[in-house]
Amino acid sequence: MEDLWAIAVNPRATADISAAQVQFALLPQALKDADRTLAVDRDDSRITARF
């Protein structure tokens, strides 16, 4: 799961992804197109994503 969030916030990161996880790979370009950045905070019970 760490690799998936890495590719979501860093377009140069790489990870093996399945069809069910493709949204993580598409997110950096979508954010760029919308002129947004992603901030992700994670702890043991929660993931917060802001853009």
pLDDT at 42: 87
Domain ranges of the chain: 2-50
Burial (CB < 10 A; 0-12, 13-18, 19+), residue 31, is: middle
**The two three-digit tokens of residue 5, written as one number:** 């969030």
Contact, 11 vs 30, CB < 8 A? Answer: no
Q: What is the pLDDT of residues 1-51, one digit of tens each?
A: 678 888 888 878 888 889 999 998 898 899 999 999 989 898 899 989 998
Calculate the dihedral angle through the C-alpha atoms of 11, 12, 15, 20, rounding to the nearest 10 degrees.
Answer: 20
Report DSSP letters for 20-43, one per residue.
GGHHHHHHHHHHHHTT---EEEE-
pLDDT at 19: 92
